[in-house]
Chains A and B, each alone.
Chain A
Amino acid sequence: MKLEFLSFDFEKFATEMQNLKDKKGFDYLVTIVGEDFGNEEGLGCVYILENTKTHERCSVKMLARTQVCGDGIASNGTGATDGQMMAFIPSVSNIWKVANLLEREIYDFYGIVFLGHPDMRRLFLRNDFVGHPFRKDWKGDGKYSLEDDVEPDYGLEYYLDKDGNLQSKQNRLFTSDDYVINIGPQHPATHGVLRLQTVLDGETVKHVYPHLGYIHRAIEKMWENMSYPQTLALTDRLNYLGAMQHRHALVGVIEEGMGVELTDRIKYIRTIMDELQRLDSHLLYTSCVAQDLGALTGMLYGMRDREHVLNIMEETTGGRLIQNYYRIGGLQDDIDPNFVKNCKDLVKYLRPTIQEYMDVFGDNVITHNRLENCGPMSLEDCINYAVTGPAGRASGWKNDVRKNHPYDMYGKVAWEQCTLTGCDSMDRYLVHINEMYQSLNIIEQLIDNIPEGDFYVKQKPIIKVPEGQWYYSVEGVAGEFGVYLDSRGDKSPYRMKMRPMGLSLVGAFDPMLRGQKIADLIATCAAIDVVIPDIDR
C-alpha cells in the first residue's frame, strides 16, 4: 500500500486522532513508525490505522516539536533530562492501548517523549545506554558492560505545564510490599529471552511488566546501511518459525515500490511455502503449549511430525529454519522435482495425525481446565491492544490479512477464516489447530495446479526503489506482519520498520493476567504464541 499521509496541527493532534477512532472507525492502530526525517523536518512519527469493519487503512504523519525540558525531576537512564532539548508529541496511548509499548519503543530509539504517556521508560535498551541509536546522527562505541543494569522503580510522565513548558513527574511501578519475581530472561517457559517482571500476591499475579530487548539485534538500523538484497537476509531470523512470511512481507514491499510483476508460478509457490511454514509454526506451537503445561509426550508428537514438514521445505530451500527462499523478483531456486508428490503425501499424513494431538492433549480434561478462562481478553480489548493473529481470532476478531487484504493466491482459493468466541487460551489453541486444517486445504488446492513459468524475474544488478513510502503486510504465523518502507531513491532504504507480531501480544499480557495464577501466566504465554526475536528485532 502506497502511503498518503494525513497531517494535523500539533495542538489539535490528540482530538483529531480521537475523531479518527470514534467517528471514522479507525479502531485498530496497526503500528507507529518513529522516523528521523532529516535535518529539515527533524524527528516524527507515522501512524498507520485500520478500520476493522471496512478494512480501509490510512496513515498520519506527525512531526515532533522540540523544547528544553523544564525543572522537573531527574529522569531515568539518560541522566537528568532537565535542561536537555527534548522532542515531544502528544501520546495516543489512551486512545489505542497498543500505543503504550509502541511509544516506549520510539522513545527508546529516537528520544521522542510522548506527552501524557504514564510510563516513559526505555523498552529495549539498557537504562545506562547513551543516546538514541536510531537517530541519523547517533554514533556508538560498541562497548558494553557486564554489570547488572540499574532499573528504576518508576516511570516518567511528561506533560506541558500551564506556561507551555515541558515537565516530567514520576509514577511508581511497585508498592513497598510487593513480591516481585522475574520470569526470564532465562526461563524455560518464556520461549527465549523474554523477561516478565511479575508482581505476585501468593500465587496470584497482580501486575506484569514486560522487559524486552534481551535479543534486540537492531535489524532495522542495520538495514539502513545495507543494499536491498542484503536486507532480505536478516528477516528469516526474526520469528524463525515464520521465516517465509517475514521475507514475503519485505520482498512484497520492495517489489511494490519497484513495481515488479511476478509470474503466476512464483505466486503459487510463495503461497504454498507460506502455508507450509504456517504448518511448521503451528505444529511447534501446539507442541510448546503441551510442553509448557507439562505434557512432554504431547510435545514430542507434534515435534515429530514437524520434521516431515521441515524435510519437504529443506529439499527445496536448503534450510530447516532459515529458508532464504524468496528474493526480489521471485525465488532463490525452482521447487524440488519431488515437491508436489511430497506435499500430497504430507497432506495425507497430517490430517489424521492432528487428531492425535487432540486425543493426547487438546481434548484432555486437564488441558481444558488449565486453559479455559485463562488469560481472557474480550473482542473490544483485542482490537484496542491490537492482538492480531490467532490470538485475536480466538476472541472473534476477523483480522486475517489473507482475507482482508488478499495477496498472491489467497484471494483465489477456497478457505475459511477460523474464528472462535471463547476469548481465552483454550480457544487460542483450538484456532491454531483449526488453522492447520485450513493450511492443508490451501496446499491441497494449489499443489496440483502450479503453472509453468519462470521462478525468477531477472532484476538489475543494483536494485533501487523510487522515492516514496509503502506499507505491505502479510498474515504471519502469530499475527499481522508488515513492513513500512521509506525510500529516498537510494540503493539502501532510508527507513524500514517492521510491525512485529509479538510486541502487541506482549503488551496485552498485563490486562490478560491480572488476578490469574502464575501457572496461568505460563499457559497464556504459551497459548498466545510469542517468539522473542520477532518482538525485539
Chain B
Amino acid sequence: MFDFSIVTQWFDALLRETLGLGDFLSILIECVLVGVIVLTAYAVIAMILIFMERKVCAYFQCRLGPMRVGYWGLMQVLADVLKMLIKEIFFVDKADKFLYLVAPLLVIIGSVGAFCFLPWNNGATILDFNVGVFLLTAVSSIGVVGIFLAGWGSNNKYSVVSAMRGAVQMISYEMSLCLCLITAVILTGTMQMSGIVEAQTGPFKWLIIQGHIPAFIAFIIFLIAGNAEANRGPFDMAEAESELTAGHHTEYSGMGFGFFYLAEFLNLFIISGIAATVFLGGWAPLNIGIEAFDTWMNYIPGIVWFMVKAFGIVWLLMWVKWTFPRLRIDQILKLEWKYLMPMGLINLVLMTVFVALGLYIK
C-alpha cells in the first residue's frame, strides 16, 4: 500500500534541509499549502456533489437533470457558482448584523474543520490527533451554532422557527452519532483516525465485517443519525422547503446563501466519509485472504478506495432522501429518543460484550 507520508516527509525535508528554512517558515509554508489544498478540495467536492445530487435526483424522478450546459450538463454547477459569486449581497434591515454575518462563516468553518479529519489515503490525514473521533464530533457541531445564529440573526419568523428546529434536532442526534462512533472505538481500541483505518486493513478486517452484528447495527444507526445531522431529507426540518420557505437561510442572498448550500452538501460528504472510514475501512482495500486477489486489490490506490466507499454511501443517502417524505419535528425526536438512542446504548453494551468475549473476527 502506498504511504502518502513519504511525500509529505520528503516535502518537509525539502523545506528544512535543502532550502534551509527555519521551523517557523517551513511550518507556515506547509500550513498555507495544506490550507489551499483543503479549500480547493472542499470546493471541488462540493461542486461534484451538487452535480451528482441533481443528476441522481433527476434519475430517481424519471427526468434527465442538467443536459444543456456543457456536454451532458457537466458545466452546470460551474455556471451556478459563477453566478452566485457575483450576485448582490445585502443586509436585512433590523437584522442582528454581527450574528447575521458570522452565521454562514461558522457553518462553513464547522464543516471545513470536520472535513480535515478525513483520512484520504495511507498517511494523508490532515488532522490526526489521538482523540480524533472525539474532536471530530466536537468540531462538526459548530455548524449547529451557525444554523441557530442564522435563524436568530435574520429577524425573520420562519428563520426563528427553523433555528429552534435545527438546534433541537441536531443536539438530539449528536447522541446517537457519538454512541455509534464509541461502539466502533471499542473494537478498534483507538480514537485516532489513522489508527482506526489501520485496525481495518487485512482480510475481513473492515469493521462492519469484523464486528458483524453490533457493527452493522451501529452503521445503520450512524447513517440515520448522520443524515439528520447533515440536515438532509427525510430530516430536513430546519430547511423544510414547503413549510418554512427556506428555513434558516431565508434572508441570505449571494454567497451567504452559497456557504449554507456548500456546507449542506459537504456535511453529507463528511458523514459519508466518516461512515466509510469507521465502518468500511476508509482507504483500506478489500482483502479476502486469497493472495492473488489481495495483491491486485492493493494496487488500487487508497484514495480511490476511500472515494468509492464515500460516494457509494452518498448515493445511498441520496436514494433515501429522494424516496421518503419529511418527518414532523416531534416524530424526529421520537425516532431519536424512543428508537435510535436506546438501540445505540444496547448496541454499545452488546459490542462491549462481544469484544470482551472475543466474539469478533480476529
Contact = CB atoms under 8 A, between A and B. Distances in A.
**Is there any pair of Cβ atoms, one from A and one from B, under 8 angstroms apart in the complex?**
yes
Interface in A173-193: 179, 181-182, 187-189
Chain A interface SS verdict (over half)? helix
Interface stretch (B55-63, B98-106, B259-267, B345-353): B55-63
Interface of A: 179, 181-182, 187-189, 200, 202-203, 290-298, 300-301, 304, 360-361, 364, 366-367, 369-370, 517-520, 522
B63 A367 contact: no
Contacts of A182: 157
Contacts of B328: 369-370, 517, 519-520
A182 B158 CA distance: 9
Interface string B312-348: 0000000000111111111100000000000000000
A361 B60 CA distance: 14
B9 interface: no
A295 B324 contact: yes
B242 A298 contact: no
21 contacts: A188-B245, A189-B242, A203-B329, A292-B242, A294-B240, A294-B242, A295-B325, A296-B61, A298-B325, A301-B61, A366-B234, A366-B324, A366-B331, A369-B328, A369-B331, A370-B325, A370-B328, A517-B328, A517-B329, A518-B243, A519-B328
Contacts of B80: none
Contacts of A366: 234, 324-327, 331
A181 B161 contact: yes
Contacts of B326: 293-295, 366, 370, 519
A367 B324 CA distance: 8
Contacts of B165: 203
B241 interface: yes
B329 A519 contact: yes
B236 interface: yes
A262 to B, nearest CB: 41
B62 A304 contact: yes
Contacts of B143: none
Given A290-B325, A301-B62, A370-B331, 4 more contacts: A297-B322, A518-B243, A519-B243, A522-B243
Interface string B230-242: 0001101000111
B161 to A, nearest CB: 7
Contacts of A294: 233-234, 236, 240-242, 324-326
B171 to A, nearest CB: 16
A301 B331 CA distance: 26
Nearest to B324: A366
Given A189-B243, A294-B236, A364 B161 contact: no
A530 B44 CA distance: 44
B337 to A, nearest CB: 15
- Which of B60, B325, B328 has the most CB atoms of chain A within a 10 A radius of its CB? B325
Contact of B241 (A188, A290, A301, A519): A188
Contact of A296 (B158, B322, B330): B322
B329 A361 contact: no
A300 B161 contact: no
Contacts of A300: 61-63
A90 to B, nearest CB: 39
Given A294-B241, A300-B63, A304-B62, A364 B324 contact: yes
Interface in B56-87: 57, 60-63
Contacts of B325: 290, 293-295, 298, 361, 364, 366-367, 370
Given A300-B63, A364-B324, A181 B157 contact: yes
A199 to B, nearest CB: 12
A198 to B, nearest CB: 10
Nearest to B330: A517
Contacts of A361: 325
A360 B245 contact: no
